[in-house]
Amino acid sequence: MANLNCAEQNRFLSRVKREIVKYSISSEDLFGYYTVPIRYEGLPYDLPFVYFVNRGCAYDRMGACIECNFGRGQRVPDEQLIAQLGKIITQFYGWPAIYVTPSGSMFDDSEVPEHVRLEIFRLLRAGNFKFVATESRAEFLTQSKIHAVREVLGDDVEFEIGLGLESVNGWVRRNCINKMLSLDSVVTAIELCHQCDVEVYAHVLIKPPFLNEFEAVEDAVKTATWAFEHGVDRLGFALTNIKAGTVTRWLAIHGIYQPPTYWSVLQILLSLRPEWLSRVGLFGFDSAVSIEKPAGNCPSCSPHIRSLLQTFCYTKDVQYLRQAEAYPCQCKYAWLDEVRRPCLPLRHRVVRYYEELGRDFLGDKWWESNRNSVLTDLLEDG
């Protein structure tokens, strides 16, 4: 078991998530790929996003990240993992760029042992890719681990590591996402990557659980601003979707939460500094695990707006965002009504929702016995 730093843990959300998890990944979902629309070397490019599941994310198994279900998995023998992954990666030999990641962290030795990690990067080196990317939680990165991978890839390969930041708001990270992450660890990881000639791609969550559309826009813009001001090279906004085995699925069923609208996504993008837009992407249109309810607008306009958002990802041309923003649809007025509608402050709403979660999953008796400690931590946590 990795030595996990749980100083930022919300123990109530962790316990609820462990109660709700009923999802197990099937063997056919242990390996696969899909593509992500990006712009590479000045041209539209479908980036192969190759994923694999070994043990799964260690933090997920502890109850972290209540919108995610990447902790389920099964230990795959090393030889089988490398062979299966090799079959997928070799399909893209001759392509310029590729992204390969486990369901958790490439640099977590308990999930991807060092000898397996280095063999994966040897497969990538053999493919003569110009650009290779992966992802990891910040706290698993060390200079020795990065140097070992750099030595395998060589200096001529552009190497990028994605870091899950999600939200710069510590209260949201702890009490709405349960990310178990300190900003200090992210700052340290950014500096470490740059010292090792590695670029950083920050992951920012659009509309964490419990947030409404207005709060989602504000949170994402503030988080992106913080990330760029602290030196990230590129940034990807992750569209929150509803998936099996997550607390967000329960919240959605009970009318507490819905995935973000494309109108909010557009508002976020158009609120960023123009010089940052060329370094911003979107992901979450597809996923390694099934999406029960995706982010989006109404059925009438969603396909068109999604197409324009993806075209922006290919081109980085703001005109496609403007076209999407101007698209006439009645659901836009409903979105405007929601973002302008007064509501209780987030902290007070979360108090009410925690009670519903606690009574439903842990029982009335447990909630009555633990209510004060749960809510005191929630209201006093700064």
Question: In the numeric block, which tokens belong to residue 147?
Answer: 């140097």
Give me the chain's average pLDDT, please: 93
211 and 242 in contact (C-beta within 8 Å)? no
Output the CA–CA distances (angstroms, integers) from residue 184 to 163, 180, 187, 203, in the order listed.
13, 12, 5, 16
pLDDT in tens, 266-319: 999 999 999 999 999 999 888 767 789 999 999 999 999 999 999 999 999 999
Q: Which CATH number fits domain 11-343: 3.40.50.2300, 3.40.50.10440, 3.20.20.70, 3.90.1170.20?
A: 3.20.20.70
Using the CB atoms, write b or e for 207-219: b if 16+ within 10 Å: bbbbbbbbbbbbb
Structure tokens at 269: 């993008």
H/E element, 276: helix 274-277
Other Cβ atoms within 10 Å of 3 Cβ, number: 8
Q: Which residues pair with 201 in a beta bridge?
A: 162, 234
- The reported pTM is 0.94
pLDDT in tens, 141-169: 999 999 999 999 999 999 999 999 999 99
Predicted pLDDT at 381: 62
For 315-355, write each residue's pLDDT tens digit.
999 999 999 999 999 999 999 999 999 999 999 999 999 99
pLDDT for res 2: 45
Query: Which of the four pLDDT bands, split at 50, 70 and 90, describes residue 3?
Result: low
pLDDT band at 1 (very low <50, low <70, confident <90, very high): very low
Nearest in space to 75 (alpha carbons), one of 101, 49, 113 = 113
Q: Using CA atoms, how far apart are residues 264 and 47, in angstroms rounded to an integer?
A: 25
The rounded Cα 253 to chain-centroid distance in angstroms is 22
Distance CA 310, CA 220 (A): 19
Contacting residues for 42 by C-beta, under 8 A, at least 6 apart: none
More confident residue, 73 or 285: 285
Q: Tell me, what's the pLDDT at 118?
A: 98
- pLDDT tens readout for residues 197-218: 999 999 999 999 999 999 999 9
| Burial of 77 per CB tally in 10 Å (0-12, 13-18, 19+) | exposed
Q: Is 70 exceeded by the pLDDT of residue 25?
A: no
